[in-house]
Structures are given as C-alpha cells and as structure tokens.
Amino acid sequence: MNVVEDRVLRNRTFVFRDRIHAGGVLVEKLRETLTERRGLVLGIPAGGVPVASVVASRLGFGLDVAVVRKVQIPWNTEAGFGAVSWDGTVVLNELLVAQLGLDSRAVELGISKTRGIVEERLRRFRGDRPPFEVAGECVILVDDGLASGFTMLVAASSVKKLDPGRLVVAVPTGSRSAVELVAPEVDLLVCLNIRSGPVFAVADAYQKWYDLSDEEVESFLRGSRAQS
C-alpha cells in the first residue's frame, strides 16, 4: 500500500492550528518514509504554498509552484468539474460532467477560462524563470488538502511527463475518496488526516483557515528563494 496516514488523526476535525503547523507535522511523517536527501517540493497555490514552504525548508529541498486550477461549475464557483495544469493538461470528472448536464460548449468555455487564469498566475508566481527540471529527481507535490482530488490528479499527470525519479503527494488532510483516486497515480501518498463521510471540507482540518491572497503566496516564495 502506497498510502501513509496518521491513524490517530483519522476522521478527526480541527487537528492543525494552521497551515504552518500542518506543514511541520507533515514533514515529520515524510522524514519517516523518505530515503531521498534532495529533491523539489511543488506547492499548489494558493493554500498549498505555505505548507510546501515548511516542508521544503525543513527537508532541505528546493521549492517551486505547481500552478493548477479547478474548472469551476458555472453556477457554483466553490466546486469544480475538473482541473487544468501549467502545461495545459486537462483532467475532467466525466461522471460529474454528465450528472450536471454540461454540454461540450459549457465544458470548453470553462476550460478556456481556467487556462487563462493558470497562465496569469504562472506569470505572477514564476515570472520569467525557466521551467523546473525534475528528471530523475524526487518530487513532492503539496497542497493544504484533497477534496475531490482532481486538482492534484492533473498536477501529478503533468509532473509524470517530466520523468521524475519518484513522485510523492503530501497533504495534511484529505477525503478518503480523493486519496483513493490519486494514490494509484503516484509512488507515495502521505495524508495525515483521512476523513470519510458524505461531506468533506479541507477547512475543517484547521483551527485557523482562510483563503490566501496572491501577495501572501508571493511572500512565501520570496522567502524561500532568499534562503536558497
């Protein structure tokens, strides 16, 4: 089994003070399971970047961003029916698309809009820096949680095209269904707080949780680059 969890935290809520605390707990579990001493941590903005910054700093790995974005449901922007990554890869939740009754025009419109947002965030967070090279390297994809899992799934798909030596997903919390969706696509999935049930919210794992601004994401990235 390639899934590592903390059984003490299973199905519990509000187990982390904030994203920084979650990153610190997560890195201790990674130290128990990783043999690699170098590699690259890719944080998924926005919420995954502070978690990733702690993981990268304490492991001594590099830090960068994996810019991915959910394709929003037209009438519910809090939910998505797929995701788009920085290299243009698209992963759709085909079952949900059918359930929602979305036609091909609505799907393509959503994908096109999402690609525009991804391109803008790439420019903002990475500027003119060259694409990261990870061939043969250990890559750790980090987010603050897995809800549906499709955002992480598209990130993993894009990283796999770059032929990493080992691909790890590390998150503080996740729904069981998302963990089961993502785990077969990566070498290792570390999720401390796995929760089952009909309703799941990433925020419910945190005592203090809020939506990060782009400025805060940039601040974490600047801090990491200054240390390297």
- Exposure string of 82-91, with b = 16+ CB inside 10 Å and e = fewer, is bbbbbbebbb
56 and 107 share one domain: no
150 and 217 share one domain: yes
**Ramachandran region of residue 139, left (φ > 0), alpha (ψ -120 to 50) or beta?**
beta
Number of domains in the chain: 2
Residue 144 is classified by DSSP as: S
Token pair recorded at residue 167? 């691909």
pTM of the model: 0.93
Distances (CA, A) of 136 to 65, 133, 184: 19, 9, 20
pLDDT along the chain (228 residues), means of 10: 93 97 97 92 95 96 95 84 94 91 93 95 92 94 95 96 97 97 97 94 96 91 66
215 and 150 share one domain: yes
